[in-house]
Amino acid sequence: MTKIPFTKMHGCGNDYIYVNAMQYPIADPTKASIAWSDRHKGIGSDGLVLIDRSPVPEADFSMRIFNADGSEAMMCGNASRCIGKYLYERGLSDKTEIRLLTLSGVKILDLHIKDNKVESVTVDMLEPVLENESQFIASRAQGHGTFVSMGNPHYVIFTDDIDQVGNTGRKLEMHPAFPQRCNIEFARVEEDGSIRTRVWERGSGITQACGTGACATAVAAALTGKAGRKSKIVMDGGTLEIEWRESDKHVYMTGPAEFVFDGEIDSE
């Protein structure tokens, strides 16, 4: 039995278990994520994140992320911000701009430092994709949502009833319209212009926040005339600031990242 050091972190309540895979490789991350994510019998989290060296020169580090059900995700905005804080504050990098390799491409993390601590991180989430035949079958989509891919698939529905996230989100994740399953957002524009959003994450269910979901919601709001190019997305666990720039068509996400605790867990 091997002891694996881990760090629990969260971004706006979206919590993951982080392991330095450069020192402690995980042989079966799917199995580990299922066991460790259990909130009653394990550490408790929305999934497992492995931080490793990049196999390509275009990036400084790589990220693999596994949902609570063991499925591998392509990208997580909240997790990428946490990785930026982890790398800088744990002394693994002195860079304030870090290139992170994910399954949806290389993301640039811009760290905002105060008193040698990472206060927040801006992530260049690249350009959204609004049509993707492998992830979305438009003719079979339900409701009046907007499909946005941020490297992973999202379906954003504007409604006053955002609390239907549990029942409707569960059904839509598995809908035939989404061959690869889908993250589902329920959003409502508030009087102050912010966008209150609840999310059903593919493979994890209801989560406190979803970075790519916040980006997808902001893009959908701009496309449907409900907001401009800058939005404050208020999720269950906190607020993210999103900008969809006209200059390069990239989406930029800014938000906090926090340490929760460190520990060790047995690994077979």
Q: Exposed (0-12), middle (13-18) or buried (19+): which is 266, by Cβ within 10 Å?
A: exposed
Contact 174, 156 (CB under 8 A): no
3-state secondary structure of 256: coil
Active site residue 182: no
CA distance 218 to 237: 17
CA distance 197 to 183: 13
Q: Closest Cα to residue 66, out of 105, 24, 101, 36?
A: 36
Active site residue 215: no
CA distance 200 to 197: 10
Catalytically annotated residue among 12, 76, 82, 182: 76
Q: How far apart are the first and last CA of the chain?
A: 5
97: how many CB neighbours lie within 10 A of its CB? Answer: 13
For 39-138, where are the alpha helices, taking DSSP H only? Answer: 77-89
265: how many CB neighbours lie within 10 A of its CB? Answer: 16
195: how many CB neighbours lie within 10 A of its CB? Answer: 25
Catalytically annotated residue among 82, 182, 210, 215: 210
Active-site residue set: 76, 210
